[in-house]
Amino acid sequence: MTWIESLTLNSPSGFWNPIVWLAFLVVFAVIGYLIYSRGNRSYKPNTDQVKPFLSGNEVEDVEEIRVRAGDIYWGFIEALKGYYSVLMRMHTGDVRDYILWYLGLGAVILFVLVGGV
């Protein structure tokens, strides 16, 4: 077994060898550098020249213009505000609280179903 073979990890789905991986890394780094070196060097970093074009408007911080997942439910939450404000206070993120609720509600259900018998 050669030293390269000794570094090769064989598996039913293929093989992995750090030397081959490094060789590919070097090849792709060279290709990347060649593309980079052909780029326009006269551009001015840290100016509007490197910012996206928004019809001449200033590019705002991405956090200001992004539609967040919570915004999708805004109307729904606003319409049921009274209900959700209670639920959100109960929603602590603490798993022990949820288990307590689970046990408590389980006990109530059990009591309703079999408690009277």
Partner 1 sequence: MGKLTNFKRSLWVFHASGGSCNACDIEIIAALTPRYDAERFGIKLVGSPRHADVLLVTGAIPRDFADKLRRIYEQMPDPKAVVVIGNCGTTGGVFYDSYNIAGPIDEVIPVDVYVPGCPPRPEAIIDGVVKAWLKIEKLEKELEGKKE
Interface residues with partner 1 (CB under 8 A) are 40-44, 47-49, 51-53, 55-58
Q: What share of the chain is helix, strand, coil (3-state, %, to 5)?
A: 60, 5, 30
Tell me if 34 sits within 8 A of 44, measured CB to CB: no
The distance of closest approach from Cβ of residue 63 to partner 1 in the complex, given in angstroms and rounded to an integer, is: 21
The distance of closest approach from Cβ of residue 25 to partner 1 in the complex, given in angstroms and rounded to an integer, is: 31
- With residue 63 as reference, give the H or E element that holds it: helix 62-65
Q: What is the DSSP letter of 55?
A: T
Of the two residues 53 and 76, which places its CB atom closer to partner 1 in the complex?
53
Of the two residues 5 and 48, which places its CB atom closer to partner 1 in the complex?
48
The distance of closest approach from Cβ of residue 58 to partner 1 in the complex, given in angstroms and rounded to an integer, is: 7
